[in-house]
Structure 1
Amino acid sequence: MDLELVINIIEDNGYLGLFLWLWFGVFVIPVPNEVILTTVGLASAKGALHPVPAFFVTYMGISAAFTTSYLLGRIIGRRVLGLLEKKKRFANSIESAMKLMEKYHAFSLSLSCFAPGVRYLVPLLYGFSRLPFKTFAIFAYSGAFVWVSIIFVLGYLFGDKMDLVMKYNREVWLVILGLSIITFIFVLRRRKIKAAIGTEEVILQERQHK
């Protein structure tokens, strides 16, 4: 994606224009999200954008797109799925999204951020299945934050060398996905250990009072 395009959008419409572009553009512009985000990161590195508001607007725009997909699933999910299933490309992606959901359940919302083919299908399917919005928000927004942070930083640091990064795109994402899963398991285990310690302390206190 042309760096000047991002700069022109900001100059003509401000950060609001960037937000709206990221919100609705992902549904109508055939450009991978990774390319858009790295370009915004590169524009920040070049001084065309301020890094903090650029990152914040980018994250909010992507989060709004995820939310829109989820709400479409809740409101008119059956119609949307019916249309998508008629197209072979989307039918295969829906099948992949469902397998991801079956294996990782709600955590698949976080993992789907790293999977271009199912990134917006998983929120749509969870909206259709009436997953509580609170659960959707926890996993989707946290996953989006990690994903946007990684891509934004890659663009900021290596924007001029993105051809090399994209060449090893599969390897990079496998490493990132592996680290994300390990981090999630580590955090989950820490919470379980803290909960177990808290339960033991309560039991000891009860015994002392008897």
Structure 2
Amino acid sequence: MDLDLVVNIIDENGYLGLFLWLWFGVFILPVPNEVILMTVGMASSQGALTPMLAFGVTYLGISAAFTSSYFFGRVIGRRLLQIMRRKKRFANSIESAMELMQKYHVFSLSLSCFVPGARYLVPILYGISRLSFRTFAIFAYSGAFIWVLIAFVLGYLFGDKMDLIMRYSDELWLVVLAGVIVFITIMVRRRKVKETATEMDQAIYQERQHK
């Protein structure tokens, strides 16, 4: 992505323009989201943007895009899903997103931020399933924060080596994804252990009550 494009957006429309561009642009621009985020980070490192403000606007724009996907799923998701299933390109992504949801449950909202094919599908699917907005917000916004932070910092620190980063971007994000999966797997297992312990305590309590 051209650095001048980001600078021009700020010059012409201010940070509000950047926010709206990130909110709606991620759905229509044929550019990986990571490239957009790293470009904003690089622009910040070169003084074209105020770093903290640029990061905040970027995070809010991406969060708005996730939120739109969620409510889009609640409103017309089922009809959209039927149309998308007929196209092989989307059908494969939908299956991958569903597998992610079945394996990691609500944690898949955080994990999907690091998976391009599932990034905006998972919020749509949870919107269709009527997951409460509070639960959606907790997991989607926390995952988005970590994802945006990593991409922004990479662009900020290594923007002058963007070509090298993009060359090995698949390997880089696989490492990051693996780390996130390990973390979420640990959290899921701890949650299951706590639920099992709670069920055992309740069973013991009920048994004592019957005696």
TM-score bracket for the superposition, by shorter chain length: 0.7 to 0.9
Residue 59 (1) aligns with residue 64 (2): no
Following the alignment from structure 2 to structure 1, what is the Cα–Cα distance between the partners of residues 92 and 185?
Answer: 29
**Partner in structure 2 of residue 69 of structure 1:** 69
**Partner in structure 2 of residue 96 of structure 1:** 96
**Partner in structure 2 of residue 28 of structure 1:** 28
Instruction: Report how many residues are paired.
Output: 195
The alpha-carbon distance between structure 1 residues 36 and 138, as it changes in their structure 2 partners (threshold 3 A), is same
The alpha-carbon distance between structure 1 residues 75 and 180, as it changes in their structure 2 partners (threshold 3 A), is same
Following the alignment from structure 2 to structure 1, what is the Cα–Cα distance between the partners of residues 183 and 117?
Answer: 23
Counterparts of 1:1-210 in structure 2 under 5 Å?
1-184=1-184
The alpha-carbon distance between structure 1 residues 154 and 82, as it changes in their structure 2 partners (threshold 3 A), is same
Following the alignment from structure 1 to structure 2, what is the Cα–Cα distance between the partners of residues 64 and 109?
Answer: 14
What's the TM-score once normalised by structure 1's chain length? 0.87
Following the alignment from structure 2 to structure 1, what is the Cα–Cα distance between the partners of residues 188 and 103?
Answer: 17
The alpha-carbon distance between structure 1 residues 20 and 192, as it changes in their structure 2 partners (threshold 3 A), is same
Following the alignment from structure 1 to structure 2, what is the Cα–Cα distance between the partners of residues 134 and 43?
Answer: 34
Following the alignment from structure 2 to structure 1, what is the Cα–Cα distance between the partners of residues 160 and 49?
Answer: 16
Percent identity (aligned): 72
Deviation at 1:104, TM superposition (A): 0.6
Following the alignment from structure 2 to structure 1, what is the Cα–Cα distance between the partners of residues 35 and 174?
Answer: 18
Following the alignment from structure 1 to structure 2, what is the Cα–Cα distance between the partners of residues 124 and 89?
Answer: 17
Following the alignment from structure 2 to structure 1, what is the Cα–Cα distance between the partners of residues 190 and 73?
Answer: 34
Following the alignment from structure 1 to structure 2, what is the Cα–Cα distance between the partners of residues 89 and 39?
Answer: 27
Deviation >2 Å, runs of 4+ = 178-194
SS in 2 for 1:49: coil
Following the alignment from structure 1 to structure 2, what is the Cα–Cα distance between the partners of residues 119 and 184?
Answer: 16
In structure 2, the gaps of 5 or more residues are: 198-211
Deviation at 1:168, TM superposition (A): 1.7
Following the alignment from structure 2 to structure 1, what is the Cα–Cα distance between the partners of residues 159 and 168?
Answer: 14
SS in 2 for 1:130: coil
Following the alignment from structure 1 to structure 2, what is the Cα–Cα distance between the partners of residues 33 and 114?
Answer: 10
The alpha-carbon distance between structure 1 residues 191 and 117, as it changes in their structure 2 partners (threshold 3 A), is closer
Deviation at 1:164, TM superposition (A): 1.3
What's the TM-score once normalised by structure 2's chain length? 0.86
Following the alignment from structure 1 to structure 2, what is the Cα–Cα distance between the partners of residues 117 and 95?
Answer: 10
Following the alignment from structure 2 to structure 1, what is the Cα–Cα distance between the partners of residues 85 and 184?
Answer: 32
Deviation digits for residues 20-52 of structure 1, max 9, x if unmatched? 000011111111101110110000001000000
